[in-house]
A and B are shown apart, each in its own frame.
Chain A
């Protein structure tokens, strides 16, 4: 039978003497294990207390006017707060205080646990300035900045690490830290919907004393992020304000990198049929006529390759002032893809709006694409019906129609056909004997 004793909470537990000795490695793991359980429980206590408070607040509104019920609610609220305080106090006493675990948590960037141990350790200035602590704090700082750079760009955690660990300039001013801080700075600019966007920017800037080039780079990065993926409307609407805040002149926008970013975003917006945003990018970033034409040509291709003609394609041509030769280029790039997928109706529509010369349509590449599309469609059970109404005008060569693959598939389709009109048409189009 193991020996037992009472713990501070009145629970009967195994006595320390009854436990066996373990290795230093095991000891470190045990220490982390204890802190894991403590932080986990602290989180649970916090959440449960908040849930209780919420329920009691709701009941308090319903019980308004009933003094007896109101008193009961007040008592439970007090009991709830007392339980949080009492549990946290008991847990704090159990935190294993060791520099090794602090180093582990710093190196893994687990800030919640870092502060739990840090508060208990009360390290001297000399201990804090030791290379191992400073190095671990540096790694943790990079992680905190990187996390923040993909989240809200807030400076709070980074500043807390720098201050609490009294990080010296030579530890902070290394490429890895400054790079992470710059990404965080860019993110703070993107968070325009939060009131603290510029506050975060100022705090980081004050602490890291960014150079002019670093600020321009952070701005470029923030602009690039704002234009890509989920388009940041607010950022673009307040671009003038951001530039004013950063004391940047319009010349910054003329840089090759920003113009390239703008050109790509402009093209992407046109291709996704968002004219308003596209025009906004073009105007705000002062895209050159050449860039607008290049982006417009690409967007036109994307739209046509999607089988969209007339609707937005005409708008792109007009907006980008695309000359006929550029339009033809985009059409020539889009048509073979549509043909190869067997989208003959779309091809017919595109060619009706933007005709191509016979020489191109009869070229081997286009004819091979047509053959591939025909075979794809004919392999479908009802494929013939999607082919017949649109084949005319596509200039399919006899060579393709008479090819063994097409002939075999056409014969199969014919054998399934029951409509007399269609039978006659299939025979005519696919040169099948009466």
Chain B
């Protein structure tokens, strides 16, 4: 069963559309991952500062 040519062209355009949407959504996921990473790093730094301040207060 061979499909009409116009349908193939349309399919190609649809695939390119899917690709674009996918890339946008994947970029958004990557951004969220980066954000979580930043929050983890910040939490680590805050903990360290709190520990240092605690140590200083005890001196």
Could you tell me which A residues sit within 8 Å of B by CB distance?
7-11, 13-14, 16-17, 19, 21-22, 24, 26-27, 30-31, 33-34, 37-38, 41, 45, 48, 52, 55-56, 59, 62-63, 66, 69, 72-73, 76, 79-80, 83, 87, 90-91, 94, 96-100
Q: Map CB proximity to A onto B9-49 as digits: 1 under 8 Å, 0 otherwise.
A: 11111111111111001100110110011011001000000
Q: Is B7 in contact with chain A by the CB < 8 A criterion?
A: yes
A94 cross-chain contacts in B, Cβ below 8 A? 11, 14-15, 18
Is the pair A98, B2 in contact by a Cβ cutoff of 8 Å?
yes
Give the contacting residue for A80; candidates B7, B14, B29; CB below 8 A. Answer: B29
Is the pair A73, B8 in contact by a Cβ cutoff of 8 Å?
no
In whole angstroms, what is the CA distance A76 to B15 when docked? 25
Is the pair B11, A34 in contact by a Cβ cutoff of 8 Å?
yes
In order of increasing CB-CB distance, the 7 nearest A-B pairs are A11-B17, A13-B13, A7-B17, A9-B21, A16-B6, A7-B14, A30-B8
B11 cross-chain contacts in A, Cβ below 8 A? 34, 94, 96
B19 cross-chain contacts in A, Cβ below 8 A? 37, 41
Size category of the B interface is 20 to 34
In whole angstroms, what is the CA distance A37 to B14 when docked? 11
Is the pair A91, B18 in contact by a Cβ cutoff of 8 Å?
yes
Q: Is B58 in contact with chain A by the CB < 8 A criterion?
A: no
Is the pair A59, B36 in contact by a Cβ cutoff of 8 Å?
yes
Q: Dominant SS at the A interface? A: helix
Could you tell me which B residues sit within 8 Å of A by CB distance?
1-3, 5-22, 25-26, 29-30, 32-33, 36-37, 39-40, 43
Task: Tell which of B5, B10, B15, B30 has the most Cβ of chain A within 10 Å.
Answer: B15
Is the pair B17, A13 in contact by a Cβ cutoff of 8 Å?
yes
Is the pair A22, B5 in contact by a Cβ cutoff of 8 Å?
yes
**How far is the CB of B31 from the nearest CB of chain A, in Å?**
10
In whole angstroms, what is the CA distance A91 to B1 when docked? 20
Is the pair B40, A62 in contact by a Cβ cutoff of 8 Å?
yes
In whole angstroms, what is the CA distance A125 to B17 when docked? 36
**How far is the CB of A167 from the nearest CB of chain B, in Å?**
23
Do A59 and B6 form a contact, CB below 8 Å, given A34-B11, A87-B18, A98-B1? Answer: no
Do A9 and B8 form a contact, CB below 8 Å, given A41-B22, A69-B39, A69-B40? Answer: no
Q: What are 28 A-B contacts defined by CB distance under 8 Å?
A: A7-B17, A8-B17, A13-B14, A16-B10, A19-B9, A24-B2, A26-B5, A31-B8, A34-B15, A41-B18, A45-B22, A52-B33, A56-B33, A59-B37, A62-B40, A63-B36, A72-B39, A80-B29, A83-B26, A87-B18, A90-B18, A91-B15, A96-B3, A96-B7, A96-B8, A98-B3, A99-B1, A100-B2
**How far is the CB of B38 from the nearest CB of chain A, in Å?**
11
Do A9 and B20 form a contact, CB below 8 Å, given A34-B8, A59-B33, A59-B37? Answer: yes
In whole angstroms, what is the CA distance A21 to B6 when docked? 7
A22 cross-chain contacts in B, Cβ below 8 A? 5
Is the pair B36, A9 in contact by a Cβ cutoff of 8 Å?
no
In whole angstroms, what is the CA distance A286 to B15 when docked? 63
Do A48 and B26 form a contact, CB below 8 Å, given A16-B10, A21-B5? Answer: yes
A100 cross-chain contacts in B, Cβ below 8 A? 2
- If A41-B15, A98-B1 are given as contacts, then 18 extra A-B residue pairs at C-beta distance below 8 Å, sorted by A number, are A11-B21, A13-B13, A19-B10, A21-B5, A21-B6, A27-B5, A41-B19, A45-B22, A52-B26, A59-B36, A69-B39, A69-B43, A72-B32, A80-B29, A87-B22, A90-B18, A94-B14, A96-B3
